[in-house]
Amino acid sequence: MRKRPLGVRLIAIYEGLVGALVVLLALLLGSIGVLSSLVGFQVGIVLGLAAGIAVAGLGLVYIIVAVGVWHLKKWAWWIIVIWKCLGILLSLVVGLAFNTLASSLLGVFINFIIVAYLLWTRRSFGLTKLTPFS
């Protein structure tokens, strides 16, 4: 049994909490859709439920990846590293597009620290080389 580093535990807990919050957001979106249909917006229920289902799916993916990271699965390591690299790019694009680069740098910083730490602890996940499917 491989030892789970403290930082990996914290990353897994963080991702799981984000996933739980996203699922709660999905419930909120779905209920807003239902409420909007009650006041006469017939399209609201379809849009609200569709958005709620899509967001709930994203939240479940977060939770599944968090469990995979907790159990030191290679597939979860790859997903979260790619996910966080995309998060760095997205933070930069949003910061530049909406002229909020200063606040977007926090997202860049957090995602960069997570990627750097995961690269440093990759051996805990059974990864010796950085080649997918190794």
Per-residue pLDDT of the chain (134 residues; tens, 9 = 90+): 678 999 999 999 999 999 999 999 988 877 877 777 777 666 667 777 788 888 899 999 999 999 999 999 999 999 999 999 999 999 999 888 888 878 788 989 999 999 999 999 999 999 987 776 65
Which DSSP category does 122 fall into? G
| 134 in any annotated domain | no
- Quote the tokens at residue 27: 């419930």
In this structure, the answer to whether residues 14 and 57 fall within a common structural domain is yes
In whole angstroms, what separates CA 94 from the centre of its chain?
A: 17
In this structure, the answer to whether residues 22 and 33 fall within a common structural domain is yes
Q: Which amino acid is at 87?
A: G
In this structure, the answer to whether residues 58 and 96 fall within a common structural domain is no
Longest Cα separation, the chain: 59
Count up the domains in the chain and report the number: 2
Chosen domain end from 56, 71, 86: 71
The pLDDT of residue 132: 66
In this structure, the answer to whether residues 52 and 108 fall within a common structural domain is no
Residue recorded with tokens 């535990």 = 9
Which pTM does this prediction carry?
0.84
The pLDDT of residue 134: 55
Chosen domain end from 54, 71, 88: 71
Write the burial class of residue 134 (CB in 10 Å: 0-12 exposed, 13-18 middle, 19+ buried). exposed
The pLDDT of residue 133: 60
- The boundaries of the domain holding residue 46 are 7-71
